[in-house]
Amino acid sequence: MKDNNDGTTDVFAIWEYDSYEDYEEIETKVRSDKMHVRRIHDWYEKHGGKEYVLREYIIEMKNEELLCTVK
C-alpha cells in the first residue's frame, strides 16, 4: 500500500503464474466456487453493496499482465 497524502491510498497485489493459461484456469475455478462467491457477495452487502463500494471507495481498478523484460 502507498499513501498518496491526498486522502487516497494505492493498494496493489501481484500474483505469478507459470502461464496465462494457468491464470485463466485458476481464475475460472475461483469464480465458480460457490462458497467463495457467497463470501464476496456477503462482504459487499455488509459494506453497502458492490455498486456503493466501487462508487465510493474505488477510483481505479486494473488487471494487467506483467511481462518480464530480462532476457
Q: For position 63, what pLDDT does the model report?
A: 87
DSSP label of 7: S
Residue 38 has pLDDT above 90, yes or no: yes
> Would you place residue 33 in the very low, low, confident or very high pLDDT band (cuts 50, 70, 90)?
very high
CA-based nearest residue to 66, from 9, 17, 31: 17
Amino acid letter, residue 50: K
Lookup result for grid cell 491526498: 6
Q: Is 71 helix (H, G, I), strand (E, B) or coil?
A: coil
- Retrieve residue 22's grid coordinates: 494457468
**Can you give the pTM of this predicted structure?**
0.70
